[in-house]
Amino acid sequence: MEFPDYCGPHWIQDKPKWVPIPSVNIPCSNHCCTVNFIPLSLAYATTGHTFQGQSAGPEHTIPCIIVQPGTLNMECLCPSLFYMFISRGTMIGTPEDRSSSAIFFTTDELTRDRIQNLTKNQKGELCKKVKRESQWVKVLQRNKMKTFITRKIWCKTTKMKEETTRSKIEDTSWQKCNSINY
């Protein structure tokens, strides 16, 4: 099988990305026949956008995820996407046993600096989308509408007399309708 990212020992000199997957022979329980197959497992892939709101870990449907977060430039184009990835795993394993982690990464571009500065580009400047978002938040904050109704006014103007409340509760005529209420 050809694996484009394979960088281990060459099994076939002129095909460095090819890795042999030997077939397996397993006899049936009666030992009268055998099954010959290639032991491959079905795997699934999904984008980060479709994985939002889900978690990965031992107690979850998905035991672990393998993430290719892309380049720092990709992060600048899709702010917070990398954060979404790293927040999906419910455990990161221990220094002694990394295999117990619920999240794995497939890139050499993950450095401490990149993880600590998710909003900055390679020059150390704020990414354009992050800068625009910050400007938009400032505009919204400056143009907030003032609320004129205080709690006291709200409570005073929305109270009904006790007899009106009783009549509304006891009135069931609205329930006797042939149309569907949405």
Joined together, the tokens standing for residue 33 give 């026949």
Q: Output the pLDDT for position 155.
A: 65
Question: pTM of the entire structure?
Answer: 0.50
Joined together, the tokens standing for residue 22 give 């030997």
Write down how long the chain is. 182
Q: For residues 79 and 120, is the Cβ–Cβ distance under 8 A?
A: no
What are the mean pLDDT values of the chain's consecutive 10-residue runs (182 residues total)?
85 90 89 89 80 86 85 82 86 84 82 79 85 90 77 68 76 61 42
